[in-house]
Amino acid sequence: MTDWNVPPPPPPPRGPSRPIRGRRIAAGIGIALAAHLATLLLLLIGLLFRNGDFAAGPGLIALLVGQALVFVGCLVMGIVLTVRQDGGVGVGLLIGWAVGLLVVPVAGFGLCVWAISGSGSI
């Protein structure tokens, strides 16, 4: 029994895991909702400067591109931070993205109705 296999040392922890705190979750939710709101702002700007055809207008394109970026950003960062047990920001990003996705179509629809009925062009 001279050639004992010495197991390799365990890998060092990737960083200190923090307990999940409500304040950090709220911060993550706030960041995600702010990103969603920014895409709505793009929609609003596009609606104000649209030129006739709404469906192919810049507002809708800006909203779609913005939403795609928010989707990728929130989900990737949310999952990475959650797995690293960052203390809640990642969880907040994921929750905020999902809740925002439910709210954005409602607010976007309202914005479109408001902008279109305000100008009376449709």
List of residues contacting another protein (CB under 8 A): 19-20, 25, 64, 75, 78-79, 82-83, 85, 88, 90-92, 94-95, 97-99, 101-103, 105-106, 109-111, 113-114, 117-118
Nearer to another protein, 50 or 89 (CB): 89
Minimum Å gap between C-beta 3 and another protein is 35
Q: Which is nearer to another protein, 20 or 41 (CB)?
A: 20
We find the least distance from the C-beta atom of residue 37 to another protein, in angstroms, to be: 15
Residue closer to another protein (CB basis): 79 or 122: 79
Residue closer to another protein by CB (options 49, 114) is 114
Task: Report d(CA 90, CA 87) in Å as an integer.
Answer: 8
